[in-house]
Amino acid sequence: MSGFSKFKSPLQGVIPPMITPLNADGSLDSNAVQKLIEHLIAGGVHGIFILGTTGEFSGLSYSVRKDLVSQTCELVAGRIPVLVGITDVAVEESIDLANCAAEAGAYAVVAAPPFYMSIDQQELYTYFTQLADAISIPMFLYNMPSHTKLTIEVDTAVRLAAHERIIGLKDSSAHAVYFQSLCHAFREQKDFVLMVGPEEMMAETVLMGGFGGVCGGANLYPQLYVALYEAAKSKDFEKIRTYQSCVMEVSKNVYTLGGYKSSYMKGLKTSLSFKGLCQANFAPPLYPFSTAEVEELRGRFDLVNAKIAAEKI
């Protein structure tokens, strides 16, 4: 049975896109899954999103994906909503994973446009409608143009929102005008959840009328991102400036090492290993930092910790 009815809708707050803890052989590190979930819940997050970009979903086998779904829902045990990414190039695979999520008790699923094939907005509308028709729990749209090479246009999002199971949209475009256009388009539809992916934009989008953020850094520092969200909700601009400065230090120091296109993922997961929350193992084609890079990151990580500690967050 879906966990949707257990929680007041619409969903708001900080929803970390949880990393997927892996063993060296690519299997799921179940002990780390438990530690990470407890770390996130203790940090006050408002939900957990698994099998997103930060969760390396595209490099995981379906057996690992399904193990993560079942273990996460069992460990969370209804304390906060669990959202499950079901993005795939084959609609049947997305439906199958959505069924797995529903059976495990997930709150909702999250789907980005199918990648590889070039499609237009009408084909995208038809695809998402077909998917929503075939599943039994609510679904969030996931706008991720940098990875899918396709934007869910505002008019398409409005059309799709008429479907009873499509309840929100996560935008990872980092395009403030696009997000503002969404807020304007849904100004009368107060229960359609609009969340932002890039954590550097979370506070400003909450001030625009957004519902919160899917913040990767909340894996590391959940209290920081929750505090920033609460400051934005209450329009406490002094606290926003303080907490935003910390968030920008995380972005500057943790996500940029080595100049890799995957530096965000490498930096985040390796920093989590410093905290003992996971191993620094990745799903191919990603691979770990070199020893020298790890040591450089450790120094940067210590600087960020000192900054956050100084602010008493």
d(CA 195, CA 154): 14
Out of 107, 125, 142, 221, the active site residue is 142
DSSP state of 108: E
Residue 52 C-beta-side C-alpha neighbours within 13 Å: 27
Question: Helices 291-310 & 263-274, crossing angle to 10 degrees?
Answer: 70
Task: Using alpha carbons, select from 233, 141, 230, 240 the residue that is nearest to residue 194.
Answer: 141
Task: Note the Cα 171 to chain centre separation in Å.
Answer: 10
Report the alpha-carbon distance of residue 41 to residue 111 in Å, rounded.
24
CB 296 within 8 A of CB 241: no
8 is catalytic: no
Q: How far is CA 199 from the centre of its chain?
A: 10
Looking up tokens 């969370």 gives 76
Rg (CA), the chain: 18
Catalytic residue among 170, 239, 266, 269: 170
Helix (H) / strand (E) containing 193: strand 193-196
Q: Give the burial class of 292: count Cβ atoms within 10 A of its Cβ; 0-12 exposed, 13-18 middle, 19 or more buried.
A: exposed
Q: How far apart are CA 208 and CA 9, in angstroms?
A: 20
Q: Is residue 221 among the annotated active site residues?
A: no
13-14, strands of its sheet edge to edge: 13-14, 212-213, 193-196, 166-171, 139-143, 108-111, 82-85, 48-50
Indicate the DSSP class of residue 138.
Answer: -
Catalytic residues: 142, 170
